[in-house]
Amino acid sequence: MPFAVIDCGTTNSRIYLLDENYKIIKKGNKKIGVRDAVLHGSNEVLKLGLKKLMEETILLAGLKFQDIKFAIASGMITSEIGLIEIPHLRAPIGISDLAKNIKVVQDKKIFPLNIPLYFIRGIKNYFPENTTYKDIRKVDFMRGEETQVAGLISLHPKLSYPVTIVVLSSHTKYIYINKEKKICSSLTTLSGQIYEAINKNSFIGKSIKSDESEKNENYFNTDVIDTAYDSVRNAGFLRTLMMPRFMEVLLKTKWYERKLFINAAIVAEDLRGLEEFKTLNCSSHCDFVLIGHKIRCKILSYLLKKYYKVTEKIKCIYKKEEIDQLSIGGGIAIAETAGYLKKN
């Protein structure tokens, strides 16, 4: 019997319908996430958006609502600005721990469709109960990435551990996995949302807007990246953000050079998060897996090798289909371990 996997994020949500052999029947995605709940002051817009997305995906798959057995849900959907707030688990956490703590809910007040939802809990860093703002740099959490990690572990059995996973999405999240394949800690930045804010809500957006007459989306120039990295380190991130404007007006550069510069500047600033690993007793001297946009992965890989002297393996996962499979595979692995799905 078909079932669904729901991945609800900050800005986007995806629903995958799968058959009994775990093959994708249909995928649906919509620019709806918990950010919309924040902007509207209520999660009703999120409820209705996810409901509509589910209905449309089922219809396009040629199925009926009654055909769907259940949905495995993860991500910001389990936060206080999602459908239901479910407390984080405390690291270190492995797949078996996630499976033991699935929360099953079937309530139209929470999700306006009569279908069981298997919610996967998020994970928070370990810190003492009496921790104050003075130790805030040690505090972090995730919702959704734990499912991607479970998918990575189950779908890529040849990975070496420990490993640092870097998810490049609306946020950048550094995740340290120990030798026992357990999530030990994470560090998060606001990278993706900063890029979107710069692009859409600042005059710098004009300087990095693509020109149809000069298409070069895959442009990659290490000189540009090195210059952005040097500027962030010496002039500061905020001044560096102004430089694409100077590059456009005074230096007559191309839009794709300026866009690469901004992306490199954000990644350079992001790397300060990796430097924070020492505050969590984590080591960056291990293999890396980078997940996200191709250019961002390439920039980060380059900077890790050149400036952070990373000599271990760096694996990049940037194809949309492969990234989709991480969330799907993780949801399936956790549900199988919990006994909700038979091992296929």
The closest alpha carbon to 341, from 66, 100, 3, belongs to 3
State pTM to two decimals. 0.93
**Quick one: which of 56, 49, 47, 50 has its CA closest to 110?**
47
Longest dimension (CA), the chain: 63
Task: Find the Cα–Cα–Cα–Cα dihedral 114, 115, 120, 122, rounded to 10°.
Answer: -20
Domain extent listing, the chain: 3-134+143-156+320-338, 161-312
CA–chain centroid gap for 100, Å, is 23
Please give the CATH number for the structural domain made up of 3-134+143-156+320-338: 3.30.420.480
Place of tokens 């479910």: 86
- Say what the pLDDT of residue 285 is: 84
Distances (CA, A) of 38 to 19, 30, 44, 45, 241: 34, 17, 11, 10, 27
Residue 132's φ and ψ, nearest 5 degrees, are -115, 180
**CATH number, domain 161-312, options 3.60.130.10, 3.90.1200.10, 3.30.420.310, 3.10.290.10:** 3.30.420.310
The alpha carbon of residue 167 and the mean position of all alpha carbons in its chain are separated, in whole angstroms, by 5
Give the pLDDT of residue 112: 87
Q: Each residue of 319-341: pLDDT tens digit? A: 999 999 999 999 999 999 999 99
Crossing angle of helices 222-234 and 255-275, rounded to 10°:
50
CA distance 13 to 32: 6
Could you list the beta-strand ranges (E) of the chain: 3-8, 13-18, 24-30, 71-75, 89-90, 103-105, 117-119, 123-124, 141-142, 163-168, 172-177, 183-189, 287-292, 314-317
What pLDDT score was predicted for residue 40?
85
Q: State the Cα–Cα distance between residues 7 and 73, nearest whole angstrom.
A: 6
pLDDT of residue 100: 98
Q: Which residues of the chain have pLDDT under 70?
A: 213
Question: Of the candidates 47, 136, 127, 58, which has an alpha carbon nearest to the alpha carbon of residue 83?
Answer: 47
- Is there a common fold for 3-134+143-156+320-338 and 161-312? yes
